[in-house]
Amino acid sequence: MNTRFKIMISTLFIVTSISYAQKSNSFDIKNELVYCVAQASKTLKVIPDDGTSPRSVPNGSKEWKFVNYKDWTSGFWPGELWYLYEATGDKKWEKEADKFSRFLTPLSVTKASDHDLGFQIFNSFGNGYRLTKNKEYKNSILKTADTLATLFNPKVGTILSWPNNKYGGHNTIIDNMMNLELLFWASKNGGNKKLYNIAVKHAETTMQNHFRPDFTSYHLIIYDNETGKKIKGITAQGYSDDSMWARGQAWAIYGFTMVYRETKNPKFLDFAHQLARVYLNKLTTEDLVPYWDFNAPDIPNEPRDASAAAIVSSALIELSSFTKDKNLKSEYLTKSKKMIVSLSDYYQSRDINSAFLLHATGHKPAGSEIDCSINYADYYYLEALLRLQKLK
């Protein structure tokens, strides 16, 4: 590298750092919530009146792609509406949240087609019940928890994630950790007490089998249906079986933090710290928003995944609340806030489309939803803003 080029790079770095600092100083959670309200208001105007909800906006488009209640992401839009109701107290959002949650009611009374029932029902009716105590919502949550539990295989000790898939055997994906919250909640709110044991067993089995020695996560583990033995680890949505898919690690950090909250068993807390540690240590981006896979071959020319940053920023706020070590607590909070500020300053969609964020990546190996807006990035971004606000 010649001297002039070195000076250019250093100047660029200093200018970027100064502008980053200036932006950070102006960060105000209230402004970001006002922004989310404005974007969601625009989205509401374009949703067809046919029971569907917005899932993603392709890169370069302004148009949402809409999905019906069966889609795995169908709970995120109603969840965002509940969070907006929580943020504003405005009944308009409660009415919309109620309407879009109710589209999901059939899930509580149909046979389970996969593990995503937690994402779908707990983000919609779960938030709805937390804020309104509506008994109908509670009923849907309890019934859905029983439905999800039908996928539990006691020989393996986990819930079957994808009953209809090409891999064979009993498969469990790391995302499935997120859906345990539905079971914990149901077991403590009038549902079957066995749901608690199923959730704990799933978490223990996952802790034992789903991770490499360095605490990075596989996406998917295939188990033998009969013996319960682990057959192999696969990373279907990541770059390779041995790579660290950003959102998979994000689900793991969030999931084990939540399992500690629900069980208070310190082994889950220790584990969540290990998962967060490897994520933060391997994170090389200045803005703390990861590439879609930490081992993707063309870094720095790989798409980012704003959804992973949103999930981790929210999880770190909760993990910090369980952390007695002052330095670690401060690191989690500082980094979480930096992620939220980055997302706010550099990743918001603004006039490009009416989602909250750009630059999320859904399924790169399948060529689907790359570098675009996705409802779960928006959901966890809004959740992180609200969690940060509650700290203050």
116 part of the active site: yes
Q: Which of 26, 71, 36, 29 is nearest to 356 (CA)?
A: 36
Closest approach of ligand GLY to the CB of residue 219, in Å: 9
Task: Name the residue nearer to ligand GLY (CB basis): 216 or 323.
Answer: 216
For ligand GLY, the closer of residues 251 and 268 by Cβ is 251
Q: How near is the Cβ of 21 to ligand GLY at its closest, in Å? A: 33
Cα 321 to Cα 270: distance, rounded to the nearest angstrom: 14
Smallest distance from the beta carbon of 286 to ligand GLY, in angstroms?
25
Our CB check for ligand GLY shows the closer of 179 and 342 to be 179
Evaluate whether 107 touches 72 at the Cβ level (below 8 Å): no
270-277: long-range pairs with CB below 8 Å, 24+? 271/207, 272/319, 273/319, 273/323, 273/328, 274/215, 275/211, 275/215, 275/217, 275/249, 276/312, 276/315, 276/316, 276/319, 276/332, 277/215
> CA 27 from chain center: how many Å?
23
Number of C-beta neighbours around residue 301 at 10 A: 8
Q: Which residues form the interface with ligand GLY (CB under 6 A)? A: 72, 175, 237, 247, 362
Task: Considering the complex, state which of residue 259 and residue 377 has its C-beta at the smaller distance from ligand GLY.
Answer: 377
Closest-approach residue to ligand GLY (CB): 175
CB 307, min distance to ligand GLY, A = 8
**Pick from 71, 131, 58: which is nearest to 103 by CA?**
71
Minimum distance of ligand GLY from residue 33's CB (angstroms): 25
**Beta carbon of residue 119, minimum distance to ligand GLY (angstroms, whole number):** 7
Q: Which two tokens stand for residue 78?
A: 């109603």
Residue 94 or 175 with smaller CB distance to ligand GLY: 175
* Six-digit token string for 219: 């996406």
CB atoms near residue 10 (< 10 Å): 10
| DSSP for 265-286, written as a single string | -HHHHHHHHHHHHHHHHH---T
Given 114, 175, 287, 371, the catalytic residue: 175
Q: Is 71 a catalytic residue?
A: no
User: 98, 116, 287, 293: which is the annotated catalytic residue?
Assistant: 116
Q: CA 143, CA 222: separation in Å to the nearest integer?
A: 28
Single-letter residue type at 163: P
State the distance between the two ends of the chain, measured CA to CA, in whole angstroms: 46
Nearer to ligand GLY, 93 or 119 (CB): 119
Cβ distance to ligand GLY smaller for residue 32 or 175? 175
Distance in Å, CB of 31 to ligand GLY, minimum: 29
Q: How far is CA 371 from CA 32, 56, 204, in A?
A: 22, 11, 34
| The residue to which tokens 């100083």 are assigned | 25
What are the tokens at 384? 């992180």
Q: Which residues are catalytic?
A: 116, 175
